[in-house]
Amino acid sequence: MQTLDLLISDGWSDYELLDSGVGRKLERFGAVTVVRPEAQALWNPRLPQQDWDSAHAVFEYQGKGENWREQRAHPAQWTMRYADLQFVARLTPFRHVGVFPEQAAQWDWASDLIRRRAKPRVLNLFAYTGLASVAAAQAGAQVTHLDASKAAVEWAKENQAACALPSGSIRWIIDDALKFVRREARRGVQYDGIIMDPPAFGRGTQGQVWQFSESFPMLLSECRQILSPNPLFVLITTYDIRASATMLYNTLSELMTGFAGSVTAGEQVLRETSAGRLLSTSIYARWSPDPEQ
């Protein structure tokens, strides 16, 4: 019987969800505190307003667009840590800072599986600033990192350097995900592990349109062609609020038909420091082989 889990990334020292409410969240990334919109936070904050007012920057609508309103001086970029990972954070025009803290539990899970096999091949699609790629490489995987954004790949390379990983530990690809996977299938290339975080909407390097409801099923079908005969894991996360964890569970279960293993699915959540409430950020599904495999 299918059950949905809440996956909490509680192993941080350099990140805190300080408080949340009225459509916003107050967070600490290293020594920098920020306020960002959060559609899921429909409750009331617990910390006093002065704590929110003391944040270094607030992401908000300004005129015809969105941007950061600076409230206190802070570094243009700074270094953060999680376990053995070290990486660069900075404020972007898209309200992100280069790290999604709720993904940390997934880095731990994938790294543990990678350490059980000698140099498994791992493909990370829609890989953004590459923290999952760096974590996998640290654990001993041969990683292929793909993103359609050159700027994101360059940031990921900074994170590889921050962790002092060898330059050849990660293969960097700037391409459309579906196009690349199809090319790998034609070449007979196979991967032991696949990580993906597909967006609701996006464009490839040559203007290819990505629409989750149409493109995601096609991508999964193609990924089946590049899985090794003895896969190590498949991990899917998404921030598309129209999708459900049940949908991810069903589609991943279908993808892995014929392999001896199990699928778990649910929500990725963060725990507040202020009141201990859980904030849902995204959904996930992941497959791993049976223990005896």
Q: pLDDT digit string (tens) for 214-271? A: 899 999 999 999 999 999 999 999 997 788 999 999 999 999 999 999 999 999 999 9
Q: Which of 46, 78, 110 is the last residue of a domain?
A: 78
* Residue 234 neighbours by CB under 8 Å, 6+ apart: 193, 194, 223, 227, 252, 255, 256, 286, 287
Question: Regarding beta strands 142-147 and 121-125, do their DSSP bridges make them parallel or antiparallel, or are they unpaired?
Answer: parallel
Q: What is the pLDDT of residue 45?
A: 98
Does one domain contain both 70 and 103? Answer: no
Does one domain contain both 15 and 120? Answer: no
Does one domain contain both 211 and 157? Answer: yes
In a domain, 88, yes or no: no
Cβ 33 vs Cβ 27: under 8 Å: yes
Does one domain contain both 253 and 199? Answer: yes
What residues of the chain score a pLDDT lower than 70? 1, 62-65, 203-207, 292-293
Question: Which CATH number belongs to the domain containing residue 57 in this structure?
Answer: 2.60.40.1180
In a domain, 83, yes or no: no
Does one domain contain both 169 and 276? Answer: yes
Closest CA relative to residue 173, chosen from 135, 133, 210, 208: 133
Tokens 């923290």 label which residue? 131
In a domain, 167, yes or no: yes
What SS3 state is found at 25?
Answer: strand
What SS3 state is found at 154?
Answer: helix
Question: Which CATH number belongs to the domain containing residue 247 in this structure?
Answer: 3.40.50.150
Q: Which domain holds residue 198?
A: 98-289
Task: Count how many domains the chain has.
Answer: 2
Does one domain contain both 262 and 162? Answer: yes
In a domain, 91, yes or no: no
Verdict on whether the full-model pTM lies above 0.85: yes
Does one domain contain both 35 and 65? Answer: yes
98 CB burial (10 A radius; 0-12, 13-18, 19+): buried
In a domain, 245, yes or no: yes
Cβ 113 vs Cβ 141: under 8 Å: no
Q: What is the pLDDT of residues 270-289, one digit of tens each?
A: 999 999 999 999 999 999 99
Does one domain contain both 275 and 199? Answer: yes
